[in-house]
Amino acid sequence: MTREGARQLVLVVDDAQDIHDIVEARLSPEFEVRHAYRGAEAIRMARAERPDVLLLDLDLAGHSGLDVLRLLLVERGLAELQVIFLTGTSDVNVKIEALESGAVDYVTKPFDPDELRARVRAAVRRGRHGKGPRSEREAVTMVGLPTDVDERRLLLGRYKLDVQLGMGGTSRIYRAIDESDGRPVAIKMLRVEHAQNPEVVGRFRRELVVAKALRDPSVIEIFDHGFDAQGTPFIVEELLEGEDLGKRLQREGGRVALDETLRLLLPAIDAMARAHARGVVHRDLKPENLFLERREQGAVALKLLDFGISKMSWDPSETPLTGTGVGMGTPAYMSPEQIRNPREVDARSDVWALGVILFQLLAGRRPFEAESPWDLMIHITQQDAPALAAFAPELPASVLAVVTRCLRREPAERFENAAALADALRVAAA
């Protein structure tokens, strides 16, 4: 990223003009200085111009500088980006989080301009020599990625592949051992035939970014990531023991009692409430993406899976939703507006999907069924959902009303977000 024979590029991201003026006065003409005032603008400029150093305000208006950092540092071509946080807080925990998220340094406002210049110079030197504290993030330089479990059994010099656990349309899942501490992990890697598909790679990257940004106990935890020599990405994540809700429904069939439905789904709704509060819309909620993790003494914990086609308010880019169609969603759980225009959905589309899952558990069938996906989507966009009372007349009227509101065709008539749905469901079932 460093520019031989040219001034190093510093991108300043802050919503206060006086900060830009101070930085410009002290760093120019030694450095080329560019300016951004909002996170979305900073992301576009960083992707286009590949700065050597990013001076990033931690408390940007609209969203956190941490979100911007996490979004940028998982991209190839930005792995050497030296990020220095500008922060007005004295909270040491905030500074620790910034450094653990990939920043190389931080400067507390108000700062001394000469100190800032010295820190920028040090960051440039680190970038030139490929040095810095974020060793686990330097994954782009890592060893080759196997396309089969019998080849190159050690990844990154620490992950020993064991067995293949499954294979989806675009990726494989392996059980592995982290030899640094003996911990079992899961490794999710793109299948080689999809490694050059920008839509599939974008979905893979988005899943990583959202999981790191949310850091939620109900979202699968990601430990590491990287690319092989051919540019094929992989993710190292926690190994879950259990089954997804879809498999459980397929195995047991029939209706699920109200108490059990609430026990299963309220944690998922609460998790989505936290995601919505962070500006994330899942866009592919379904039983197969709700994992029931088995824990000690028979306890079950829910984990949300696959944020690959999620929408993030802080990301100005969008996952392509044409071509192969992998980014579109699952028709049976898609809202009318998502079928019409997946790019324009908000939290109320997830509320629809949660309503479909609630209906499915309580009624023993989904509200909309058809012989083909196309017929199904026509029904969803043109017909009202059937009354849940027709399939589960014994349910309290208050619960029936909550599910009915989730499945209103007009988004404005639904609950605003998952938090509102969770509150209403608890009141209705009390």
Q: What domains sit in the chain, N to C, each tagged with a CATH number?
A: 9-134 (3.40.50.2300), 141-238 (3.30.200.20), 242-429 (1.10.510.10)
Q: Is the confidence at residue 257, as pLDDT, over 90?
A: yes
What SS3 class is residue 430?
coil
- Which pLDDT score is estimated for 321? 43
Q: Is the confidence at residue 136, as pLDDT, over 60?
A: no
- Which pLDDT score is estimated for 7? 83
Residue 277 CB contacts under 8 Å (≥ 6 apart), including other chains? 417, 419
pLDDT band at 132 (very low <50, low <70, confident <90, very high): very low
Least confident range of 97-106, 126-135, 174-183, 215-224: 126-135
79, burial (CB in 10 Å: exposed 0-12, middle 13-18, buried 19+): buried
Of 44-53, 201-210, 311-320, 417-426, highest mean pLDDT? 417-426
pLDDT band at 300 (very low <50, low <70, confident <90, very high): confident
- Which pLDDT score is estimated for 291? 93
Q: Is the confidence at residue 144, as pLDDT, over 70?
A: no
The pTM assigned to this predicted structure is 0.67
Work out the average pLDDT over 320-341: 72
Work out the average pLDDT over 209-230: 80
**Amino acid in the structure at residue 80:** E
- Which pLDDT score is estimated for 392? 95
Sheet with 222-227, side-by-side order of all strands: 154-155, 159-167, 171-178, 183-190, 233-238, 222-227
Work out the average pLDDT over 306-315: 79
Question: Are 7 and 32 spatial neighbours (Cβ–Cβ below 8 Å)?
Answer: yes
Work out the average pLDDT over 150-175: 73
pLDDT in tens, 12-54: 999 889 899 899 999 988 999 999 988 878 888 888 888 999 9
Which backbone phi and psi does 312 adopt, to 5 degrees? -115, 125
Q: Is the confidence at residue 149, as pLDDT, over 50?
A: no
111 vs 14, 21, 26, 105, 191, CA distance in Å? 14, 13, 12, 13, 48
pLDDT in tens, 49-90: 889 999 999 887 656 788 788 777 666 566 678 899 888 877
Query: To which residue do tokens 């560019």 refer?
Result: 34
Query: To which residue do tokens 């469901």 refer?
Result: 425
Q: Is residue 284 annotated as a catalytic residue, yes or no?
A: yes
pLDDT band at 199 (very low <50, low <70, confident <90, very high): confident
Q: Is the confidence at residue 133, as pLDDT, over 60?
A: no
Query: To which residue do tokens 């603008």 refer?
Result: 41
Instruction: Provide the CB-side half-sphere exposure for 273 (13 A, CA).
Output: 14
The active-site residue, picked from 244, 284, 306, 315, is 284
- Which pLDDT score is estimated for 33? 94
Task: Report the alpha-carbon distance of residue 208 to residue 72 in Å, rounded.
Answer: 11
Q: Is the confidence at residue 236, as pLDDT, over 80?
A: yes
- Which pLDDT score is estimated for 376? 92
- Which pLDDT score is estimated for 371? 87
Task: Report the alpha-carbon distance of residue 319 to residue 298 in Å, rounded.
Answer: 39
- Which pLDDT score is estimated for 4? 47
286 vs 33, 58, 64, 134, 304, CA distance in Å? 46, 35, 29, 35, 10
Query: To which residue do tokens 């925990």 refer?
Result: 93
